[in-house]
Amino acid sequence: MDQIQKVEQEILELRQKLREKEDELYALKLNYHSSQSAQAHNGDESQITEETTIKQWTLPKWAIERYSRQILLREIGVAGQARICAAKVLIVGAGGLGCPAAMYLAGAGVGEIGIVDYDTVEISNIHRQLLHREIDTDVNKAESAARAIRSINSHIKVTPYKVQLDSTNAIQIASKYDVVLDCTDNAPTRYLLSDLCVLAKLPLISGSALKLEGQLTVYCYRADLHSVDKSSTYRGPCYRCVFSVPPSPDALGSCSQHGVAPPVPGVIGTLQATEALKFIIGHPSRNLLVERMLIMDVDDMSCKVVQLRPRNPMCAICSDTPTITQLIDYEVFCKTQAKEKELDLKILPPMNRITAVELQTLLLSKSTLLLDVRSAAEFDMCNIDGADNWPIDYVDRRLEELLKKTEENDGAVVFICRRGNDSQIAAKMLLDKLPEAHRHKVKDMEGGLHAWAKYVDKDFPVY
């Protein structure tokens, strides 16, 4: 065991050394490119700086050689590439959507990319978040993604923001950029980004991916700030125009809860990068997904574009008479947390909650009924011996059967799930219908199977 720990420690030190060397190489390349540009113009008054030439729609030698295949497109050309090189894009979320979006924006030569993510890389991320590698486990995602895209293109500036975006820092961060990509998967951040982009007058390219489905649209478009439509007063809807009321917290889903096929966020994230590039090079609103939403289902390979509601003239934030004039507390507004991993519902009284160690003791009794409310796919991956699978989606419709089982059972009826949140919801459904004499039997295991793996069975898979 000591030898294993020693080798693991040596690997950690080597990984850190590798990261430091990669950062050093990036800095050297950046300095080299800057010095080469300066030398090319020193002592020749007829030459002008690279920044000025880009503004005049000419490109330096390295840019022509590097981006020639896209410059050949008449939709891009030299002028479009110059705009791309001068553009600044903020990507919020370095996960399944953010990784492919960042990769293609870096490859296309976007001059500056900001990446926001508070989370760290886990091994369960890597099947779809392909900028991260196994050696990046436990590294901040924004930092890991930044390092990876610097290796794709050392000519661009990449800034990682290792924070959770919220009302206190969003304006300060976003004000430095031209376009924002929403690559997140929770309601509070979606409303935050939409309100932010309305206030900062930035377009918001919003993507989502879950299970086998993906969606993509563009919010907060303003023609008066776009290079092609400047003479128009047209404005597209914001997120609030389409979804004025946040969904119920128990109706929300995420990849970690319901799963996702790896290529789905890959496709949607790539299309987010495409919409960003189209906006940057000057495509008009009719060519962008403004007031329209792309919906993709890879199960039957169907893809359609549906019409969305136009901008709401009475919208709380983007109307001419807004009632919201600054960013608010979006977790309070949505009644849910932006950080899924830190979600810790407390909807049951203490008498109906037990620890993992207490459950271990209860399972010694044959009268204990253990109900696992995860999906069948999750249950098949791993489960506690003796547990019955009662997916939460079916608890409500089988409530009468569950009431009867509980009343007839002599021992405890314990609900479990992955983290101890869904199990409380299921337990409460039962408690609300159960006669008082039997309510003491109903229990929920705090912390879910993560707690079971931590305190009882070290070999139990954590996902």
DSSP code per residue over 309-358: P---TT-TTTSSS-S--S---HHHHHTS-S-GGG-----S-GGGEE-HHH
| Burial of 425: CB neighbours in 10 Å, binned 0-12, 13-18, 19+ | buried
Least confidently predicted of 18-22, 45-49, 162-166, 337-341: 45-49
Give the amino acid at 351: M
Q: Is the pTM of this model over 0.85?
A: no
> Would you state the pLDDT for residue 274?
98
Of 47 and 342, more confident: 342
Answer yes or no: is pLDDT of 45 > 90: no
Look at 30-34, 109-113, 184-188, 309-313 and tell me which has the smallest mean pLDDT: 30-34
Q: Output the DSSP codes for 175-204.
A: TT-SEEEE----HHHHHHHHHHHHHHT--E
Confidence band for 233, pLDDT divided at 50, 70 and 90:
confident
Last residue of a domain, one of 313, 338, 363: 338
Active site residues: 255, 417
pLDDT tops 90 at residue 283: yes
270 and 184 in a common domain: yes
Give the Cα separation of 457 and 366 in Å (integer): 20
pLDDT at 33: 61
Number of domains composing the chain: 2
pLDDT given at position 340: 65
Any domain includes 76: no
Residue the block writes with tokens 């070999």: 459
Q: The tokens of 179 are what? A: 């376009």
389 and 262 in a common domain: no
- Same domain membership, residue 326 and residue 361: no
Instruction: Encode pLDDT of 348-404 as tens digits.
Output: 999 999 999 999 999 999 999 999 999 998 999 999 999 999 999 888 889 999 999
305 forms beta bridges with 294
Query: Does residue 4 lie within any of the structural domains?
Result: no
Last residue of a domain, one of 305, 338, 371: 338
Confidence of residue 178 (pLDDT cuts 50, 70, 90): very high
Domain membership flag for residue 7: no
Amino acid at 154: S
Q: How far apart are the first and last CA of the chain?
A: 25
Q: Is residue 221 included in any domain, yes or no?
A: yes
Query: What is the mean predicted confidence (pLDDT) over 102-111?
Result: 98
The 10s digit of each residue's pLDDT in 145-164 is 999 999 999 999 999 999 99
Residue 254: what pLDDT?
A: 65
Quick: pLDDT tens for 431-463. Answer: 999 999 999 999 999 999 999 999 999 999 998
- Domain region containing 216: 87-338
CA atoms of 382 and 309, how far apart (whole Å): 43
pLDDT in tens, 402-413: 999 999 999 999
Query: Looking at 293, 322, 338, which one is the last position of a domain?
Result: 338
Is 239 a member of any domain? yes
